[in-house]
Amino acid sequence: MKPKTIYYCTNCGNETAQWLGKCPACGAWNTLTEHIEAPAKPQRQAAAPVRGERRPKPLSQIVSGAEQRFFTGLGEFDRVLGGGAVKGSLVLVGGAPGIGKSTLLLQICRVLCRSQKVLYVSGEESESQLKMRAERLGVDQDALLIYAQTEMDEILRAAAEVQPDTLIVDSIQTMYAAENATSPGGISQVKDCTMALLQLSKQSGITVFVVGHVNKEGSIAGPKVLEHMVDCVLYFEGERNGPYRLLRAAKNRFGSTNEIGVFEMIDTGLREIPNPSEVLLAGRPKGAAGTCVACAMEGSRPVLAEVQALVTRSFLNVPRRTTDGFDYNRAALLVAVLEKRGGLRLSDCDLFLNVIGGLRIDEPGSDLPVAIAIASSFRDVPVSDQLTAIGELGLTGETRVVSNLELRLGEIARLGFTKCIIPRHGTEALVAPQGLQLLRVRNIREAIEIALEP
């Protein structure tokens, strides 16, 4: 048989028989890549089935077991996983090369090895390199087994021999299945290797952590098709040259997908940041125009972040609009509301919007602080250092209440802010925390006048 050519979408994983400029499944342009699949070879002997009966059963006869969780030793990592790792789960940890994925997983071995046997399989580093990095991170337990290998059959054979409680594979792009003739890192190879690890985790109860590299577009390189196969998908984000890292869940079968974990990269590894609000607000300029503090909900945790805006007169026919950490289309909508309902002439101005600290805010409750930051930069009038804002903006300029308002106000008061602008409608019975004054507004004009008053 001749090799078969298949085109995969790197955005959604859709498969087509011919190249198309636009993916028919997700509508993305220029995302189809060519992959050549080798002719099918005789399949190897099937793995031994799971012990017990393997036939369809009525739902009423199936005994449901409780999730067996264990702590990894990093509280922020356990928070994102939903309260700890689940025994027998398959977790995919994605991130850009050099962001700290291997450091994160090797660091959790320091605590896991106290009660478990851990097998760390590396396809990118030698055993001596892993030894040096483990010594730097303070990991020196005999229960941690290192194996430098890239062939999946050998990895499965080693796992059957060692019988570890936790298996870490770093990274999935370097692994290959011998019966697949394509090169390592290709979509077919990545799918085959991940499926083998999935069967291993479900049949033997081993918790498997898999590292996947993320490309420039922000998707896991190739293994976007893996998201439906694994139990959890975690993204490790942050500026490579910056000290802070964010760990967020894109998929979690055992918990919320809205939680984030915050870490700081130091000489001895990753340090947990249990209070990210203080870190994200550190170094905030005093008395500067174009800045306002927003309070976003990341899962069950309120996080305060500084929003900065720069509005300047444009010399281009089409003014520039640039956002970092905030949705571009949402920013364009707020600019239109400010011009139509707020009385600000922004149509001939360049706008640059940034959320400090690498945090991405994508909830409606950040509309009001972003709009205030834009208005502050446009008028060149600073917002009070003790003032924050929470609220959604409608197309008519009205302010709308958001969820978890009491929890947000509690975090704002705890960090020492004395004033907070909130929507008037729906908050009449709300009691302010001690030391915090609530400034209720009906629309964006009232909010701007209160925020920028001398």
Q: What is the DSSP string of 135-159?
A: HHTT---TTEEEEE--BHHHHHHHH
The pLDDT score that the predictor gives to residue 165 is 94
Percent of the chain with pLDDT over 70: 91
The pLDDT score that the predictor gives to residue 218 is 47
The pLDDT score that the predictor gives to residue 362 is 85
Q: Give the model's confidence band at 1: pLDDT under 50 very low, under 70 low, under 90 confident, else very high.
A: low
The pLDDT score that the predictor gives to residue 154 is 95
Q: Give residue for tokens 């079968």.
A: 253
Q: Give the model's confidence band at 187: pLDDT under 50 very low, under 70 low, under 90 confident, else very high.
A: confident
The pLDDT score that the predictor gives to residue 283 is 83
Q: Could you tell me the CA-to-CA distances from 374 to 17, 76, 420 in Å, in that order?
A: 48, 33, 17
State the CB neighbour count (10 A cutoff) for residue 354: 18
**pLDDT tens digits, residue range 191-225?**
889 999 999 999 999 999 999 887 655 455 545 67
**pLDDT tens digits, residue range 415-438?**
999 999 999 999 988 999 999 999
**What mean pLDDT, rounded, does the chain reach?**
87
- DSSP label at 186? S
- DSSP label at 20? -
The pLDDT score that the predictor gives to residue 6 is 79
Angle, helices 444-451/367-379, rounded to nearest 10 degrees? 60
What does pTM read for this prediction?
Answer: 0.75
Q: What is the dihedral sign for C-alpha 129, 132, 138, 144?
A: positive
Q: What contacts 141, CB < 8 A, 6 or more positions away?
A: 109, 110, 113, 114
Q: Which residues pair with 265 in a beta bridge?
A: 270
CA angle 98, 103, 105 (to 5 degrees): 120
**pLDDT tens digits, residue range 7-19?**
877 777 678 888 8
The pLDDT score that the predictor gives to residue 45 is 46
Token digits of residue 437? 């004054």
Query: Residue 69 pLDDT more than 80?
Result: yes
The pLDDT score that the predictor gives to residue 215 is 63
Q: Which of 372, 377, 375, 380 is nearest to 439 (CA)?
A: 372
- Residues 237 and 98: beta-carbon distance below 8 Å: no
* 278 vs 131: CA distance, rounded Å: 35
Q: Could you tell me the CA-to-CA distances from 317 to 297, 314, 330 in Å, in that order?
A: 38, 8, 22
* 244 vs 256: CA distance, rounded Å: 22
Q: Which of 21-30, 32-41, 228-237 is predicted least confidently?
A: 32-41
The pLDDT score that the predictor gives to residue 2 is 61
Q: What contacts 48, CB < 8 A, 6 or more positions away?
A: 203
Angle, helices 152-162/187-204, rounded to nearest 10 degrees? 10
The pLDDT score that the predictor gives to residue 188 is 80
Cβ neighbourhood burial of 360 (10 Å; 0-12, 13-18, 19+)? middle
The pLDDT score that the predictor gives to residue 53 is 52
* 235 vs 94: CA distance, rounded Å: 5
CA angle 302, 308, 309 (to 5 degrees): 135
**pLDDT tens digits, residue range 441-450?**
999 999 999 9
Q: Which of 322, 403, 339, 402 is nearest to 367 (CA)?
A: 402
Q: Which residues pair with 29 in a beta bridge?
A: 22
Query: Residue 357 pLDDT more than 50?
Result: yes
Q: What contacts 203, CB < 8 A, 6 or more positions away?
A: 47, 48, 49, 50
The pLDDT score that the predictor gives to residue 66 is 64
Q: Give residue for tokens 């490790």.
A: 236
SS3 call for 323: strand
- Residues 120 and 168: beta-carbon distance below 8 Å: yes
Q: Give residue for tokens 């570890």.
A: 164
Higher pLDDT, 49 or 187: 187
Mean pLDDT computed over 13-29: 83
Q: Give the model's confidence band at 49: pLDDT under 50 very low, under 70 low, under 90 confident, else very high.
A: very low
For residue 33, the surrounding DSSP H or E stretch is: strand 32-37
Q: Which of 52-61, 74-83, 137-146, 251-260 is predicted least confidently?
A: 52-61
